[in-house]
Amino acid sequence: MKNNVKISRMKLSISQQHLARKVGVARQTIGLIEKGRYNPSLKLCIAIAKELDATLDDLFWEEEEE
Amino acid sequence: MRSWITFLLPEDEYKERKMLFFFAESGVLLFAVLAILLVTNSYFTFDAGTVLLLGVALFLFYITTRYMFAGIEYTDVVTEKAYRKERKVTFLRSLSFLGIFVVLYAIFLGIPSDRGEWMDVIGISMITAIIMFVTTYISLKRSYKKNKELL
């Protein structure tokens, strides 16, 4: 699943390790989410969104191009 | 979701999901092997001990192998320095196991009396230590490779 987690994280200058620690998962899990290789649970999506000060729409909603 | 198996699963949700898949795959594989043995039971005779040992060994071997190659054990090893450090720890741990095994053997079963017994003890502990090192090393190497790709 495509998402904007990496962009949002980098805008805030937060490392993968820091974000992982804050949301209670492994660094590898954050990397997999950013690469679109793992679809996180809704609970984890919300935790990431809160930590990145963004909405679920900002992070996970795909804009369809017309 | 609550389940009694939770105590066997890791905290991290990705690892948890992977482990659940490994357990499930292994369970299905075990079922298939047991079903085949049941069907062929009239053609080949296996004693109960062999079948039970085969079942347990297959279940554990499958999960361990999948876990080892999945690269999910060392989730934080990203740099070359961390990788080298962890590799050193793995080597030392295997070496410690070798020493501890020999000492415990001598304490509980007595000091080997002849060369043959010494060879047996050292042989078994060496093989176990080597398997321990190789499996951990593969897991570490796979984890490091996977982590680097995810940066």
Of B13, B78, B149, the CB nearest to A29: B13
The answer to whether A50 and A57 are in contact (CB under 8 A) is: no
Provide the pLDDT for residue A65: 61
**Which residue of chain A comes nearest to B149, CA vs CA?**
A31
Amino acid at B23: F
Give the span between the Cα atoms of B16 and B91, in whole angstroms: 27
Do the Cβ atoms of B147 and A28 come within 8 Å? yes
Q: Where are the domains of chain A?
A: 5-58
What would the CATH number be for the domain defined by A5-58? 1.10.260.40
Give the span between the Cα atoms of A5 and A8, in whole angstroms: 5
Q: Identify the band that residue A66 occupies on the pLDDT scale cut at 50, 70 and 90.
A: low
The answer to whether B86 and B118 are in contact (CB under 8 A) is: no
Chain A positions in Cβ-Cβ contact with residue B1 (cut-off 8 Å): none
A 31-60 residues inside an 8 A Cβ radius of B: 31-32, 34-35, 37-38, 40-41, 44
Provide the pLDDT for residue B79: 92
The answer to whether B29 and B58 are in contact (CB under 8 A) is: yes
Provide the pLDDT for residue A64: 67
A29-42 burial string, b = 16+ CB within 10 Å, else e? bbbbbbeeebebee
Provide the pLDDT for residue A55: 93
Give the span between the Cα atoms of B90 and B136, in whole angstroms: 7
pLDDT, mean of each 10-residue run, chain B (151 residues) = 86 94 97 92 85 94 96 92 95 93 87 85 91 95 94 85
Give the span between the Cα atoms of B35 and B28, in whole angstroms: 10
**Which residue of chain B comes nearest to A6, CA vs CA?**
B151
- Smallest CA-to-CA distance from B75 within B131, B143, B7, B138 is with B143
**Which residue of chain B comes nearest to A17, CA vs CA?**
B76
Provide the pLDDT for residue B108: 87
Does position A63 have pLDDT exceeding 80, yes or no?
A: no
Q: What's the CA angle centered on A53, arms A51 and A58, to 5 degrees?
A: 110
The 10s digit of each residue's pLDDT in A5-61 is 999 999 999 999 999 999 999 999 999 999 999 999 999 999 999 999 999 999 988
Provide the pLDDT for residue A1: 77
Most B CBs within 10 A among A28, A34, A44, A45, hence the mutation to make, goes to A28
Provide the pLDDT for residue B111: 84
